[in-house]
Amino acid sequence: MRAKSRFIVFFVAMLAAAAVYAQDSAANGSSSPPPPALPGIPEERLSINGYFNVESDYQPSAYGLGDHNASVDVDVFELLINYKGPDKFRVSAALDLEHGTDTEFIQGHLTTGWLFMEYAHSDALKLRVGKFLTPFGVFNEIHGAKNLFLARDEPRATLKPQKIAKNGYRYAPKWLAGAEATGELSFGKQSIEYIVAAGNGDQTETNPYEQDNNSKKATTARIQYSPNDNLLFGVSTYHDYLTVAGASNTGHVTSYGAHAHYTPGQWRFLYELTHGSRRLPSALLTGTESGQVAEAGYVFGKYTPYVQWQGLNTSLGTTKEKANAYIGGVDVALGRHFVYKVQDAYWTGSSLNKKFDFPGRHYHEINMAFFYAF
């Protein structure tokens, strides 16, 4: 009860702060001037972008996978640095400072979100080497950029199944170190974007972005077709062999995805389907999993209310786990690049889902975030 009242006070304070800001920004109504160029480097060569996200969750009930303490998470400060040379080369780096990084006390994380160099032969062919976000499905490549999707978080059913099912696993690792070829072919309003990549894949024994202990490489590909500005279809695939020292059998991860994004007028619709199988090295059983996410939203000026459904099915031997989420929320544009998000997520798991091994097997969680992009 005490926790609940504390959360309500916190929630009201956050809303009040948002309202004050909204009034201030409306009163000022001015657009900010472009950032000055750094001395010595031409403005068109170097760019710095990024985003900052602070969020909080509150699970009112005693049982569940959520946060009962309404913790405030200084989620991420992401810095994106691009240097575009006078030739056809570009170096791109994303630095993620997560959870109030403080190395002195071994708290939080500092991660390279990506780090690659690109050679742009033409619009239809760009070659990259380095570390990338694996281009599988809709969400992995945009990961924490919360202004690019409706719900507070990326969907677990299609991106992070391991969070809602004991036998769940990622369809593709978050990152891949290797080489990528990408490009876009456009015909009038229509366009086709492709990306193919090969890299070290996922490993537990070595730094997968440095020493590869696996002679076989992971491969991934995605094609997106856009018949016009409002509609996009995509399919993706990922395959990797899994090995560990001393294991006699090689395992594998094979995943497929399909997605569609439709934005007629003020409406926002998205559907994503993922399916995959995985066998760990030396394991006898092959696990499978399928995830879906469907969402719809409507932009009313500053407010974008939305609903989302997620469904996950995993199977390993006789163990079949299911999980569903029913989410409703609203995004409030407090400024051009400043978004406040609040939602209620209702999660439920099947009787064999070991992650939901608590009374009732379901729970609500209120999620919110303050997100600023620059």
Residue type, position 269, single letter: F
Longest Cα–Cα distance in the chain: 68
Alpha-carbon span 269 to 260, nearest angstrom: 8
Buried b (16+ CB within 10 A) or exposed e, 281-315: beeeeebebbbbbbbbbebeeeebbbebbbbbbbb
Q: How many residues bind other proteins (CB under 8 A)?
A: 35
Q: Which stretch binds other proteins (CB under 8 A): 1-9, 47-55, 243-251, 313-321?
A: 47-55
Question: In sequence order, which residues have a C-beta less than 8 Å from that of residue 66 and are 6 or more positions away?
Answer: 57, 58, 59, 347, 363, 364, 365
Q: Which is nearer to other proteins, 170 or 222 (CB)?
A: 222
Q: Does 141 bind other proteins (CB under 8 A)?
A: yes
| Nearest distance in Å: CB 116, other proteins | 7
* Binding flag, residue 191, other proteins (CB under 8 A): yes
Residue 231 CB, shortest distance to other proteins, in Å, is: 14
> What's the closest the beta carbon of residue 112 comes to other proteins, in angstroms?
12
> Which long-range CB contacts under 8 A does 15-24 form with residues at least 24 apart?
18/332, 18/334, 18/340, 18/370, 21/334, 21/335, 21/338, 22/302, 22/332, 22/334
Site for other proteins contains 302 (CB under 8 A): no
Q: Which amino acid is at 39?
A: P
* First CA to last CA distance, the chain: 39
Rounded Cα distance between 260 and 237, Å, is 15
Cβ closest to other proteins, residue 186 vs residue 206: 186
CB-based contacts of 281, cutoff 8 Å, min separation 6? 242, 243, 244, 247, 249, 250, 251
Binding segment (CB under 8 A) for other proteins, from list 98-106, 117-125, 251-259, 354-362: 117-125
Stretch that binds other proteins, among 16-24, 141-149, 244-252, 316-324 (CB under 8 A): 141-149
- Determine if 80 is a binding residue for other proteins (CB under 8 A): yes
Tokens of 179: 């080489």
User: In the window 216-245, what residues touch other proteins (CB under 8 A)?
Assistant: 229
| Nearest to other proteins of 126, 170 (CB atom) | 126
What Cα–Cα distance (Å) separates residue 344 from each residue in 130, 142, 204, 305? Answer: 39, 23, 35, 12
Contact with other proteins (CB under 8 A) among 205, 337, 351, 354: 337
Interacting residue with other proteins among 55, 58, 75, 114 (CB under 8 A): 114
Asked if 338 touches other proteins (CB under 8 A), the answer is no
Q: Which of 82, 101, 288, 315 binds other proteins (CB under 8 A)?
A: 82
For the CB of residue 356, give the shortest distance to other proteins in the complex, in Å. Answer: 33
User: Which range in 10-18, 139-147, 155-163, 341-349 contacts other proteins by CB under 8 A?
Assistant: 139-147
Is residue 34 near other proteins by the rule CB under 8 A? yes
- Find the binder of other proteins among 7, 51, 238, 356 (CB under 8 A): 51
Nearest to 169 by CA among 276, 271, 66, 249: 276
Which of 67, 141 has the CB closer to other proteins? 141
Nearer Cβ to other proteins (2/189): 189
Task: Confirm or reject binding of residue 350 to other proteins (CB under 8 A).
Answer: no
Residue 21 CB, shortest distance to other proteins, in Å, is: 18
Question: For 158, which DSSP code?
Answer: T
Residue 297: phi, psi to the nearest 5? -145, 165
Q: What angle do CA 158, 164, 170 make, to 5 degrees?
A: 45
- Residues 13-32 touching other proteins, rule: CB under 8 A, are 30-31
Positions touching other proteins (CB under 8 A) are 30-31, 33-34, 43-44, 47, 49, 51, 80, 82, 84, 92, 94, 114, 116, 120, 122-123, 132-133, 141-142, 145, 147-148, 184, 186, 188-189, 191, 229, 336-337, 373
